[in-house]
Structure 1
């Protein structure tokens, strides 16, 4: 069966349109993935982080991933203010490392170095230095919250010295919970719950049986005598 030339043209146009739509969707998906990758704060994975150093004012929190991790140990070691190493709270560390590896910037604004004080970035509330397994280092400086309290101003890997125009990232507010607002004690491994003490055997106390009170047997009362009814008078 031969097809008419008009039918062939329609089929060719339909195939061309379908191919164009498929190509557009592929390019759109790739562009979205590229934009999401560019919006990420950092390009490393959570498992790549080997060491974290947090500077919180005059306090320092250093976290090191254990080289020889064994069951029963915490994955991270903690040093507070340069002190001795102790087990860290893996939950607190995981919350921070997850944010560092997966968070995206809401947007980026440009400010001069003199304007950074208005954003709390001349003296950051928290400075995080990350060292990866490859030895590469990254830095995140966290300033104050934005005007609507839904994000934080931050510097992501700021160059030194600062250029005439500085890129300021707007990052999730969760970073404040993970760093600034977390008490130092919460970086430590929580103590194990106390083991229950063995309870002594309880001897049941004897219970007195019910006392049956004697009941008096009822005395039959004499039945009343019925008097004859008077006869009706005629």
Structure 2
């Protein structure tokens, strides 16, 4: 998953106050997008995954792939990584300077889950933490992050959730993101036209990214739970962010 534009801007702090009323927009500054050479990765001659042409049109942030590949290389052997790349039809790892087709992330999670049905959840979880850390370090202005940490959770959470929703396309692609208040959200891919069903580990990756953001910006005892998934087709999941205290 990732939010590739800054999700909060320092300008939201004006005259020492933070806009907390519903409907008040939080200013943002777009992240520059440029194309850069990518590093080749090994490929094996394994059966490819057929794709839907419409699915490939949606663009998402490159960190949906970058950190997953990092963790894969740390936890899996070289042959396993190469096999997943080949089946997922990934010829190069993104550099982080340009958006990528969401079909690449969908394929990566599908083929990783097919080859490593248990390790895929560990990989998704660790990749989600790194993605959240990247967003905080590079996409959220320092002043905005400090304000969120100072505000009571009941005020900070809706601000963060609304800011995330405005950049939801950078991680849900052709899917649909909706939310209720600062603690509940839904990711729905039923109308996305996916060639095959998304891997369950992908929905857990979404939860992991939100959990990391909330733990570091709202309260350290926040946890994001996957709830109410459409078990018949696994194309939609509801999420609830809770606190231990």
Same fold (TM over 0.5): no
Q: State the TM bucket, normalised to the shorter chain.
A: under 0.3
Q: TM-score, normalised by structure 2?
A: 0.22
Structure with greater contact order relative to length (CA < 8 Å, sep ≥ 6): 2
